[in-house]
């Protein structure tokens, strides 16, 4: 049926989160890694999410990359655009949310958009324009001390106004609670009063569904992945969704491995569970990596010889005291990049040796691995655990990939994931 929804996300994990939401809503979805380098091939899907890394780059770069992505999405047939940012509205007075939204509006020849980062399941709610993180105002949450985007004002109308040229209005809870018709009327009223943006209150998922329904005809929607919950239904009602399973993936046979560079509590538990079940595993030591190339060669050699039906694990995952010790000797950044580049090279070597099914644990680690493998596009498949879907790369060779950021997944994630694939 062709591309319906074109999305631009300001970071990689946010893009996956959105893509996963759309697939669960029934839209076949592809995620592109980085700005498209040429015309888009919509790959027989109904939504494309372009993952940028534009959250904290200079405004002009964020604007130009977002515009290029939007142009490619529209040229590929997208009927509606979605600009995805974090549910904690990560930004500064310079941007990048306001400037990117306004540039996209202009490109579309439109004059009104909504901004709704609410994600009640994750505790992000908006009431009278104030964003709450759990029980706290945004400005009293951990986000107030974020190193790059400290959020010291919880009033999103003010926050967005400081980074925008168009004025910012509010659709308050009282109107949102009345449902889609009232919300649509509020959009129309604000637009006629000359507002360019509307922050929209939302306290629960039903509000997001109503907002999504009310936004069916708005050319540009901005927000978190929550507000995308209601969008697939608009296309379904219009008879534009193909129907059938949106999460089916092509079969990718071949040897399997897990590469883990995350040191989060959840990942430590997953590695321990894999080991206790007798899984074959190789521990990478950052200090040995710092000694020279032979540590990577040794790990790769170990792994190559064991590639087969049973998944193997190569990991640098360690408990906090071991991580702190390595960081003290090598420096935090150096330890991180040594491990990332080692795991990326091991991934390359293993794919050359025939590896086709891969779980990567760690957000930064995943970024390093997919870029070393030259992956540019992923079809999004079934969810393994909340927020982590299986995907299949659309580049050659085809790879089944599950990219898990640190805190995601239950203790048996690795085994469960491979079982889902067979
Ligand atoms: P997460 O999603 O859990 O935050 P990331 O991959 O984003 O995981 O970040 C983990 C960081 O820690 C990476 O830069 C990785 O290279 C680094 N790292 C991994 N293992 C070790 C270790 N044993 N000692 C020090 N740093 C490590």
pLDDT over 90 at 406, yes or no: no
Query: According to DSSP H, which parts of 47-140 are helical?
Result: 59-75, 97-108
3-state SS, residue 274: helix
| C-alpha of residue 288 to centroid of ligand 1, in Å | 16
The pick from 258, 362, 367, 369 for probing ligand 1's pocket by mutation, whose C-beta has the most ligand atoms within 8 angstroms, reads: 362
| C-alpha of residue 148 to centroid of ligand 1, in Å | 19
Q: How far apart are CA 284 and CA 389, in angstroms?
A: 26
On the CB side of 68, CA atoms within 13 Å amount to 14
Question: Quick one: 8 exposed, middle or buried, by C-beta within 10 A (0-12, 13-18, 19+)?
Answer: buried
Q: Which residue's C-alpha comes closest to atom 6 of ligand 1?
A: 362
pLDDT over 70 at 43, yes or no: no
Classify residue 400 by its DSSP letter.
Answer: E
**In this structure, is the dihedral angle defined by the CA atoms of residues 110, 130, 82 and 238, taken in order, positive or negative?**
negative
Q: Which atom of ligand 1 is nearest to the CA of 405?
A: 2
Classify residue 397 by its DSSP letter.
Answer: S
225 confidence band (pLDDT: 50, 70, 90): very high
3-state SS, residue 165: coil
Q: Which residue's C-alpha comes closest to atom 11 of ligand 1?
A: 336
On the CB side of 136, CA atoms within 13 Å amount to 12
pLDDT over 80 at 160, yes or no: yes
Q: Which atom of ligand 1 is nearest to the CA of 343?
A: 16
CA-only gyration radius of the chain, Å: 22
pLDDT over 90 at 330, yes or no: yes
Q: Is the bond preceding 71 in cis, omega lying within 30 degrees of 0?
A: no
Percent of the chain scoring above 70 in pLDDT: 99
pLDDT for position 147: 82
Percent of the chain scoring above 90 in pLDDT: 88
Q: Which residue's C-alpha comes closest to atom 4 of ligand 1?
A: 406
pLDDT over 90 at 37, yes or no: no
pLDDT over 80 at 204, yes or no: yes
State both tokens at 160.
């967005």
State both tokens at 38.
């040429």
CB 360 within 8 A of CB 402: yes
172 confidence band (pLDDT: 50, 70, 90): very high
Q: What is the DSSP string of 27-54?
A: --EEEEESS-SSS---TT-SEEEEE---
| C-alpha of residue 363 to centroid of ligand 1, in Å | 9
Q: What is the mean pLDDT of the chain?
A: 95
**In this structure, is the dihedral angle defined by the CA atoms of residues 369, 5, 28 and 231, taken in order, positive or negative?**
positive
Q: What's this model's pTM, rounded to 2 decimal places?
A: 0.92
CB 70 within 8 A of CB 126: no
In tens, the pLDDT along 106-133 reads: 999 999 999 999 999 989 999 999 999 9
* DSSP H or E stretch at residue 415: helix 413-421
Q: Which residue's C-alpha comes closest to atom 10 of ligand 1?
A: 262
The pick from 11, 259, 261 for probing ligand 1's pocket by mutation, whose C-beta has the most ligand atoms within 8 angstroms, reads: 261
| C-alpha of residue 379 to centroid of ligand 1, in Å | 26
pLDDT over 90 at 274, yes or no: yes
Q: Which residue's C-alpha comes closest to atom 27 of ligand 1?
A: 336
| C-alpha of residue 261 to centroid of ligand 1, in Å | 5
pLDDT for position 229: 96
Query: According to DSSP H, which parts of 277-317 are helical?
Result: 286-291, 294-306
CB 422 within 8 A of CB 280: no
The pick from 262, 289, 342, 363 for probing ligand 1's pocket by mutation, whose C-beta has the most ligand atoms within 8 angstroms, reads: 262
Q: Which atom of ligand 1 is nearest to the CA of 338?
A: 16
| C-alpha of residue 224 to centroid of ligand 1, in Å | 26
Over range 387-408, report the average pLDDT.
Answer: 93
Q: Which residue's C-alpha comes closest to atom 21 of ligand 1?
A: 316
**CB-based pocket (< 6 A), ligand 1:** 261-264, 267, 286, 316, 318, 322-323, 326-327, 335-336, 339-340, 362-365, 405-406
> Nearest-CA neighbor of 272 among 412, 416, 420?
412
1 confidence band (pLDDT: 50, 70, 90): low
The pick from 285, 314, 364 for probing ligand 1's pocket by mutation, whose C-beta has the most ligand atoms within 8 angstroms, reads: 364
- 111: number of Cβ within 10 Å: 13
| C-alpha of residue 196 to centroid of ligand 1, in Å | 41
In tens, the pLDDT along 281-290 reads: 999 999 999 9
């Amino acid at each position: 049926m062709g591309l319906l929804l074109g999305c631009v996300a300001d970071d990689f994990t946010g893009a996956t989160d959105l893509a996963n939401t759309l697939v669960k809503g029934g839209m076949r979805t592809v995620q592109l890694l980085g700005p498209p380098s040429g015309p888009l091939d919509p790959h027989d899907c109904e939504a494309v999410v372009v993952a940028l890394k534009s959250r904290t780059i200079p405004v002009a770069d964020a604007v130009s990359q977002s515009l290029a992505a939007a142009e490619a999405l529209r040229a590929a047939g997208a009927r509606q655009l979605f600009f995805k940012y974090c549910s904690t509205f990560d930004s500064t007075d310079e941007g990048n949310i306001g400037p990117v939204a306004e540039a996209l509006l202009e490109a579309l020849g439109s004059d009104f958009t909504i901004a709704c980062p609410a994600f009640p399941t994750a505790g992000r709610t908006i009431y009278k324009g104030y964003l709450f993180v759990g029980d706290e105002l945004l400005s009293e949450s951990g986000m107030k001390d974020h190193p790059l985007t400290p959020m010291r004002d919880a009033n999103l109308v003010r926050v967005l106004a400081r980074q925008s040229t168009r004025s910012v209005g509010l659709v308050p809870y009282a109107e949102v609670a009345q449902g889609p018709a009232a919300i649509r009327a509020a959009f129309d009223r604000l637009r006629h009063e000359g507002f360019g943006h509307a922050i929209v209150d939302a306290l629960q998922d039903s509000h997001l569904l109503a907002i999504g329904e009310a936004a069916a005809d708005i050319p540009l929607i901005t927000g978190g992945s929550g507000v995308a919950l209601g969008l697939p239904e608009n296309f379904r009602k219009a008879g534009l969704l193909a129907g059938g399973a949106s999460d089916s993936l092509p079969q990718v046979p071949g040897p399997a491995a897990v590469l883990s560079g995350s040191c989060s509590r959840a990942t430590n538990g997953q590695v321990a569970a894999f080991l206790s079940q007798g899984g074959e595993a190789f521990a990478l030591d950052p200090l040995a990596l710092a000694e020279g190339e032979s540590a990577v060669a040794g790990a790769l050699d170990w792994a190559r010889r064991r590639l087969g039906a049973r998944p193997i694990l190569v990991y640098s995952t360690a408990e906090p005291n071991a991580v702190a010790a390595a960081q003290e000797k090598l420096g935090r950044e150096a330890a991180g990049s040594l491990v990332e580049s080692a795991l990326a090279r091991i991934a390359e070597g293993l794919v050359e040796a025939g590896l086709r099914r891969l779980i990567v644990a760690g957000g930064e680690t995943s970024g390093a691995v997919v870029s070393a493998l030259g992956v540019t596009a992923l079809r999004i498949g079934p969810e393994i655990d909340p927020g982590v879907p299986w995907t299949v790369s659309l580049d050659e060779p085809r790879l089944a990939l599950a990219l898990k950021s640190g805190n995601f997944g239950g203790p048996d994630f690795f085994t469960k994931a491979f079982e889902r694939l067979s």
